[in-house]
Amino acid sequence: MAIREGRWDCPSCSTQGNLGRDRACPNCGRPRPEGIKFYLPENAPKIENEELRAIAQSGTDWICEYCGSSNRITIEHCVGCSAPRSDRTQAVKTYNLTAVPRSAEVTSPPPQKLNASNTSANQLKRNVTPSLQRVRRTPANRRKRNILISFILAVVVGLGVFLFQPRTIDTTVVGTPWERVVAIEKYIPVTESDWSVPSGGRIVSQREEIHHYDRILVGYETKTRTVSDQVQTGTETYVCGQKDLGNGFFEDKTCTRPIYETRQRTETYEDPIYREDPVYKTKYTYEIDKWVPSRKATASSNIAEQPYWPPLNLAKNERESERTEEYAVEFRDKKGKTYSIPLDRVNWQNYKPGQPHPLKVNALGKAWTLDKKE
């Protein structure tokens, strides 16, 4: 199993990259504290030196209860104060990652002992490698970003106010057009075609036509095709994580996975053969009396007069179908621009040609009266 030497950062003087074998900071001399988080630099090499391998594989370092020094498992008395060995040890963790997380500072109080079974996803998430850490924005960058966002928002708001905020202009009513329409239906014979004759229909002609096709199975044809299969041909071992040995060293965690090979083969199969048989039915052409749209009677005017419905003058085989009416008022400003605004009859009848009236108009040219809610 490959062994690699980790690093640790001193929480007292912030010295970074101390060797895993160092049980005290080379810069300030403070002992490596309990709960220190070891990490692997990128592309950390395998340890070939047998002495270092023996130290790494000897076991977890223990922590002196009196002076806090970190001691190798093979030492019975603290190298700092000669106190006897205690039961406190550095934490042993397994990371199912391609690189062992780099720690920040030692947390207080020190973390509990962790192993592969109780290391939570949140703890692993916090311990990410420097190369995978999201770049933190500096205060200056955040200020620049906020200024830019504020500027863009101000431009958008200003443009929206300019385009949609209405202004009031003086206009004069120049027209009050209206139109009333009555749709008229006529009861006449019409010719239709279908597979059956409705009540009241009079058959004009009939003929046999294809109504649909029935799909009939008549046999099978033997064919061949090439298919691909994934066949397991063996297994391979790969490094799927690292185990923090709790003494400044890491041991590769290995996993196995199957190896597959794509193999092709030829197989035969029976392809069904179908015949499409037409099914005939009688199709009828018939005549039937129906009410159908015939014409429209319209009354309209552009002057201020009382609206009226047009005279219908219905024939014996005609009837009224639907009535619709539209009203509008035309305004003209001092520059000669005309605005036509549709209104309901109640509001429309309040306007007369020659009457001055203010309008609301926005930069897009949309206009509406002051008494119209929009």
pLDDT at 1: 77
Per-residue pLDDT of 53-105, as tens digits, reads 898 888 899 889 888 888 888 889 988 888 998 888 888 777 765 444 444 33
pLDDT in tens, 102-140: 443 333 333 333 333 333 333 333 333 333 333 344 566
Q: 18: phi > 0 → left, psi -120 to 50 → alpha, else beta; which?
A: beta
Split at pLDDT 50, 70, 90, the class of 365 is low
Tell me, letter by letter, the H, E, C secondary structure of the chain: CCEEECEECCCCCCCCCEECCCCECCCCCCECCCCCCCECCCCCCCCCCHHHHHHHHHCCCEECCCCCCEECCCCCECCCCCCECCCCECCCEEECCCCCCCCCCCCCCCCCCCCCCCCCHHHHHHCCCHHHCCCCCCHHHHHHHHHHHHHHHHHHHHHHHHHHCCEEEEEEEEECCEEEEEEEEEEEEEEEEECCCCCCCEEEEEEEEEEEEEEEEEEEEEEEEEEEEEEEEEEEEEEEEEEECCCCEEEEEEEEEEEEEEEEEEEEEEEEEEEEEEEEEEEEEEEEEEEEEEEEEEEEECCCCCCCCCCCCCCCCEEEEEEEEEEEEEEEECCCCEEEEEECHHHHCCCCCCCEEEEEECCCCCEEECCCCC
Q: Give the chain's mean pLDDT.
A: 83
- Looking at the chain, the whole-number percentage of residues with pLDDT higher than 90 is 50
Q: Position 111: which residue type?
A: P
CA distance 266 to 229: 11
CA 83 – CA 30 distance, rounded (Å): 17
pLDDT at 67: 86
**What pLDDT is attached to residue 122?**
38
Peptide bond into 109 cis (omega under 30): yes
Percent of residues, the chain, with pLDDT higher than 70? 83
d(CA 350, CA 361): 20
pLDDT at 251 over 50: yes
Q: How many residues appear in the chain?
A: 374
